[in-house]
Amino acid sequence: MADDINSPVPGVTPKAAYHHGDLRAQLVAAVRDLVETYGPDGFSVSEAARRAGVSSAAPYKHFRDRHEILRGVVSEAMDRLFAGMEAAAAAYPVGSLEAMAAVGQAYVDFAKGEPGVFRLVFGLTEGHENAPDLLAKGESCFGVVVQAVAACLDLPLGDRDVQRRAYMLWSFVHGHSFLHIDMKTRVTTAEIDDWDYLMTISRAILARPARP
């Protein structure tokens, strides 16, 4: 899952790296903050370098261009999202509705916790969003949903119906996340309790007969 290609930091930060001490990771962290503060398009290489305390040319020793830094942020964020979803599923009995809702809750929590990064991860990022490693991480995340659905329905992972229902649940959770962080929920008078909603939706979509 984790590929450390062209990363000077294999696993953990080695004491203090060459000159600066792990500039790469610090740049990614700076960009993450910038994206969180100013949105996916409010970030600049110069500002990130400034925050990391280096010259504006330094980042180019670690990244080809501005896009590659963003990809670094996305990659790291998807790792955290995946970990959160897995941990949530593991906290409830396999095949329970609660496990299903918990996976959704982890997703919503991520969106609420770092909306800027969430937007970056799920938005369309100028051209190279086709990076195979990011696609693989996306599949891993969706895989957690598929697994929970399959367990609920007691069907194999590849089952057509499992995939369908997993996608429906994802759509719902994804839509709810965006509507919330984009503050569109003011148009409805309904008070929205995440867990309650997630349980209701899981129940509705995982009901035995897909089409009566």
Partner DNA sequence: TGTACATCAGTGAACGCGCGTTCACTGATGTAC
Please report, as ranges, the residues that interact with its own copies according to CB under 8 A: 39, 41, 119, 122-124, 129, 135, 138-139, 141-142, 146, 158, 160, 163-164, 166-168, 170-179, 181-190, 192, 197, 200-201, 203-205, 207, 210-212
Could you say which residues in the range 19-58 bind DNA, by CB under 7 A? 19-21, 23, 43-47, 53-58
Cα-based distances in Å from 201 to 31, 152, 196: 35, 14, 9
**Encoded tokens for 11:** 């696993």
- Residue 153 touching DNA (CB under 7 A): no
Between 15 and 160, CB nearer to its own copies: 160
Instruction: Report how far residue 178's alpha carbon sits from residue 81's, in angstroms, rounded to the nearest whole number.
Output: 15
Contact (Cβ atoms closer than 8 angstroms) between residue 150 and residue 138? no
Backbone angles phi, psi at 173, to 5 degrees: -65, -40
- Considering the complex, what minimum distance in angstroms separates the CB of residue 47 from its own copies? 16
Between 105 and 125, CB nearer to DNA: 125
Q: Give the burial string for 160-176 (b: 16+ CB within 10 Å, else e).
A: eebbebbbbbbebbbeb
- Considering the complex, what minimum distance in angstroms separates the CB of residue 73 from DNA? 13
| Among DNA, its own copies, none, residue 123 binds (CB under 5-8 Å by kind) | its own copies
Query: Which among 152, 84, 156 is positioned nearest to 121, based on CA atoms?
Result: 84
List of residues contacting DNA (CB under 7 A): 8, 17-21, 23, 43-47, 53-58, 60-62, 65-66
